[in-house]
Amino acid sequence: MKLILNAILMGALACSALAQAQVQTPPKYDAELAKSLGANDNGMRKYVFVVLRTGPNKVPAGQERSEMFAGHMANIQRLANERKLAYAGPLDGVDGARGIFIFAVESIDEARALWLQIPSSSRAKWWRSTIPISVPQA
């Protein structure tokens, strides 16, 4: 019985050691991939994370609002196609937080200039909560 318990214990320890070795092995850095994604020499790329909040100029439901959002979505798609916008999505509106933009740019000023190209930027939403971040690319 002791022999069986020892065998089970040794097997469990071996599996645990193997699992830890697999978890602790860092992924291989791919410099070529990182560079193709716009990363610097350290494999990091800058982004600007923005939380958009409801502004003072609410546009009532109707044709003007529909056209505004059609332009908003078209510009989001254009910026994504140009690889200047990594992510855009809605929020639940709690405390006025309406959406998130993550711009793939070097600075807050560059992100703000891109934001101002979007038709709804001046009508319905305020630019708020801007955070520059760097993210590993490969």
Three-class SS of residue 29?
coil
DSSP H helical ranges for the chain: 2-24, 31-36, 63-81, 108-115
Nearest C-alpha neighbor of 102 from the set 88, 83, 115, 121:
88
Q: What is the pLDDT of residues 1-58, one digit of tens each?
A: 445 544 455 555 555 655 565 566 777 878 888 888 888 888 888 888 888 877 777 7
pLDDT, one tens digit per residue, over 88-129 is 888 887 877 788 888 999 888 898 888 887 766 655 556 566
The answer to whether 14 touches 75, Cβ cutoff 8 Å, is no
List, for residues 61-88, the tens digit of each pLDDT value: 888 878 877 888 888 899 999 999 999 8
Cα separation, 133 vs 131, in Å, equals 6
Q: How many residues does the chain have?
A: 138
- Structure tokens belonging to residue 86: 């990594």
- Can you read off the two tokens belonging to residue 45? 């790329």
